[in-house]
Amino acid sequence: MTIPVRLRVNNAPRQHDIEPRVLLVHYLRDVCGLTGTHVGCETGICGACTVLVDGKAVKSCTVFAVQADGSEITTIEGLAANGVMHPVQQGFWECHGLQCGYCTPGMIMAAVHLLTKQKAPTRGQIASGLRGNLCRCTGYTHIIDAVSYAASHATEAAHV
């Protein structure tokens, strides 16, 4: 059994017939070829697979692709606009917010959504907001620096 799915990924329309059991993360990685979204666990804890669905951060390993039918998806590959990195991406670069980089795309996507909810979060609020994303390299301090940096450098520019 396959099901037709139509959605937009990083502003491009996509249409495929897929098995309902295909998880959104596998759809993005294997069908759309967008491998920037990673998989780190099976239980929805690690957050490496975080993408934006209609502007909200969700764990794409815990969503069937068919559930996202009709949605607008943004993955890490679609975050930079016109070749300019998003302030959160800039922040991660400036503040050494990553080491191995595996958790980073999910971490960035969660932070992007967090900053749409809280424009000037405290360090504690950033930490709470990123509870759903595990990092084993950085010890998080530089990640919180990065998100603070993004909050203070976010311009009115057309980012999310």
Enumerate residues 48-107 that contact another protein by CB under 8 A: 48, 50, 56-59, 61-64, 66-67, 75-77, 79-80, 85, 89, 92-94, 96, 98-105
Q: Does 142 bind another protein (CB under 8 A)?
A: yes
Minimum separation from the CB atom of position 156 to another protein (A): 22
Q: Are strands 3-9 and 50-53 parallel, antiparallel or unpaired?
A: unpaired
Contacts of 101 (CB under 8 A, 6+ apart): none
| 138 makes contact with another protein (CB under 8 A) | yes
Angle at 97 between CA 91 and CA 99, to 5 degrees: 140
The least CB distance from residue 112 to another protein, in Å, is 11
Could you tell me how many residues of this chain bind another protein (CB under 8 A)? 80
Q: How far is the CB of 73 from another protein (least distance, A)?
A: 13
Radius of gyration of the chain (CA): 15
What's the CA gap between 148 and 153, in Å, rounded? 8
Minimum CB separation of residue 158 from another protein in Å reads 18
Restricting to residues 11-50, name those near another protein by CB under 8 A.
Answer: 19-23, 26, 29, 33-48, 50
**Residue 45: Cβ-neighbour burial (10 angstroms; 0-12, 13-18, 19+):** middle
Burial 124-153 (b: 16+ CB within 10 A, else e): ebbeebbebbbbeebebebbbbbbbbbbee
110 binds another protein (CB under 8 A): yes
**Given 135, 150, 151, 154, the residue binding another protein (CB under 8 A):** 135
From the CB of 83, what's the least distance to another protein, in Å? 10
